Chain A
Amino acid sequence: MQRSLRLLPRVHRLARGINTPASDSSKSTPRTASFGFRTVPEEEKESLVKNVFDSVASSYDLMNDASSLGVHRLWKDTFVSTLRPGKKGPLRCIDVAGGTGDIALRILDHAREKYADRETTVEVVDINGQMLKEGFRRFKKTMYHNTPQISFHEANAQELTPTQFTDNTYDLYTIAFGIRNCTSIPDVLKEAHRVLKPGGTFACLEFSRVNNPLLSLAYDQYSFTMIPLMGTILAGDRASYQYLVESIRKFPPQPEFANMIRDAGFTTGKHVDGGAWTDLWGGIACIHTAVKLA
């Protein structure tokens, strides 16, 4: 949620006519990506995302909590405690699209508090410098500032610089509420597979598909009426909240995304909830895990 909410302040200017059918513009351009329910040329989505992130205000946390009722914190806690970083010795982690360091901080805290591990390191990667600055500022308030445990890098998840992010380097790759905003999900997965060590773990936290029809009905009502309304009231910006909701609906459902992960060369558990993926709150969010075997 955080990631998409970061988009909010500027998106409405860029995303006018967001509700035009997807097929309209897809005929003219050969390579397109979805931007909400709208289809835009691939290059455009990247610049949209990048521009938006550059101008992001640091007040999005309020909106995050307002529109998820604070639940995104619980999900992030669950996400990190599922991974149990530091249980069997220090890990070298990379947190992609983790600008503000939400996941990184949880990983380091978990390792330190549970397993007295101060050797686990996290490299935070984000495409957006402003978000990284925000994260850096936040980390200055913690004990991890100026230690080798944390570092911030500006890079694109789809093409991590091979010299800086060498092959077979990391034990753990995390991406939380970020992969949805990337232009090409397969490219992100491919890069994840490249930088992970054999035996390394890929973990992704993302909004997903609600399968329970009743819950789905309630959730649809909530997200198509309440979230844009809150956007109007709290940020004076309805269209960007519409984008948030639409981009969630455009993201592939759990089984499809699990297939994409396997297509990138990863190994997953059984193709069911609780195996390759774990639904949170009935599938509103979902944790996908996979391992690079070779």
Chain B
Amino acid sequence: MTANSSTRLLKLALPLVSQHGFTRAALARSVLHLPTPHPEPLSDTAVSALFGRGDLARKTLLRAWLDGGVESMHSRPPGGGVSVKDALHARLAYNEPVLAHLPEAFALLAAPESGIPPIDPIPALKHAARIADEACYAAGDQSLRLSWYTRRASLIGIYSAAELHQLTSPQTAHSFLDSLLSTSAKIESSVEDVKLFSSYIFRSWAGIIRSKDVL
């Protein structure tokens, strides 16, 4: 038994999520899929011992699943690298088998460990931010300084919207993501246009003022 076999059990538990959800039952049943399977699922005590008490165990499973999701974004299509779009689509596709359990999972993620405040938005933001960052990384994004942030911020918005959309309407999620991406590209280019145009205006006004000898 390797030192990391609790990690191994987590890996074995991931395929069970679609059936059992992010529950302690899924973790308990992971031992049924070991190379030498156990006759019965792990006891409640054992699940606590390995993965944490109560909902902590479910969080451990959820985190492992999220980690798997980040890895899934790097799966390259045959021939060629990954674009931001591919990465985000891959991530949405990773949600599909467990879609029914996702609302509960996100609720769990937002539930603070100590009980106050009632909802903790930080994990949800982190989740989206991590995916946006990973998509940029997978696509080899080279942006620097301010655009590094704006790029990721827009992707956070886009991915969060697409994921929310996916929860209510799984069939249209991918096309919705595409439309959001193209809209954001359009917005980006129009922002650029506005910037360019305003710089013209500014320069012309500066020229007029200078020619009038005001300054």
| A interface list, Cβ under 8 A from B | 82-85, 87-88, 91, 171-172, 198-203, 262, 265-271, 274-275, 289-291, 293-294
User: How far does the alpha carbon of A215 sit from the alpha carbon of B60 in the complex, in Å?
Assistant: 30
> What residues on A are CB-neighbors of B49 within 8 Å?
83, 201-203, 268-269, 289-291
Interface residue total, chain B, C-beta cutoff 8 A: 23
Inter-chain contact A291/B44, CB cutoff 8 Å: no
Inter-chain contact A199/B48, CB cutoff 8 Å: no
- Of the candidates A83, A199, A265, the one whose C-beta lies within 8 Å of that of B1 is A265
User: How far does the alpha carbon of A268 sit from the alpha carbon of B8 in the complex, in Å?
Assistant: 11
Inter-chain contact B44/A88, CB cutoff 8 Å: yes
Can you give 26 contacting A-B residue pairs, CB < 8 Å? A82-B48, A84-B53, A85-B45, A87-B44, A171-B45, A198-B38, A199-B42, A199-B43, A199-B46, A201-B49, A266-B1, A267-B5, A267-B50, A268-B49, A268-B50, A269-B50, A269-B51, A269-B52, A269-B60, A271-B3, A291-B46, A291-B49, A293-B9, A293-B34, A294-B1, A294-B34
Inter-chain contact A294/B36, CB cutoff 8 Å: yes
Inter-chain contact B31/A199, CB cutoff 8 Å: yes
Instruction: For the complex formed, measure the closest distance between the CB of A270 and the CB atoms of chain B, giving whole angstroms.
Output: 7
> What residues on A are CB-neighbors of B3 within 8 Å?
262, 271
Inter-chain contact B48/A289, CB cutoff 8 Å: yes
Interface residues of B in 17-65 (CB under 8 A from A): 31, 34, 36, 38, 40, 42-46, 48-53, 60
Inter-chain contact B38/A199, CB cutoff 8 Å: yes
Inter-chain contact A291/B42, CB cutoff 8 Å: yes
> What residues on A are CB-neighbors of B1 within 8 Å?
265-267, 293-294
Inter-chain contact B38/A269, CB cutoff 8 Å: no
Residue of B with least CB distance to A266 = B1
Q: Is B6 an interface residue (CB 8 A)?
A: yes
Instruction: For the complex formed, measure the closest distance between the CB of A81 and the CB atoms of chain B, giving whole angstroms.
Output: 9
> What residues on A are CB-neighbors of B42 within 8 Å?
199, 291
- Which of B1, B5, B9, B49 is packed against the most chain A CB atoms within 10 Å? B49
> What residues on A are CB-neighbors of B40 within 8 Å?
199
Residue of B with least CB distance to A271 = B3
User: How far does the alpha carbon of A290 sit from the alpha carbon of B6 in the complex, in Å?
Assistant: 10
Inter-chain contact B45/A84, CB cutoff 8 Å: yes
User: How far does the alpha carbon of A290 sit from the alpha carbon of B52 in the complex, in Å?
Assistant: 11
User: How far does the alpha carbon of A88 sit from the alpha carbon of B40 in the complex, in Å?
Assistant: 13
Instruction: For the complex formed, measure the closest distance between the CB of A116 and the CB atoms of chain B, giving whole angstroms.
Output: 16
User: How far does the alpha carbon of A68 sit from the alpha carbon of B6 in the complex, in Å?
Assistant: 34
User: How far does the alpha carbon of A266 sit from the alpha carbon of B50 in the complex, in Å?
Assistant: 11
> What residues on A are CB-neighbors of B52 within 8 Å?
269, 274-275
Given contacts A269-B60, A291-B49, 10 further A-B pairs with CB under 8 A are A82-B48, A83-B48, A84-B45, A84-B53, A85-B45, A199-B31, A268-B6, A268-B49, A269-B49, A269-B50
User: How far does the alpha carbon of A88 sit from the alpha carbon of B34 in the complex, in Å?
Assistant: 22
User: How far does the alpha carbon of A274 sit from the alpha carbon of B53 in the complex, in Å?
Assistant: 10
User: How far does the alpha carbon of A208 sit from the alpha carbon of B44 in the complex, in Å?
Assistant: 26
Instruction: For the complex formed, measure the closest distance between the CB of A38 and the CB atoms of chain B, giving whole angstroms.
Output: 33
Residue of A with least CB distance to B49 = A289
User: How far does the alpha carbon of A269 sit from the alpha carbon of B8 in the complex, in Å?
Assistant: 11
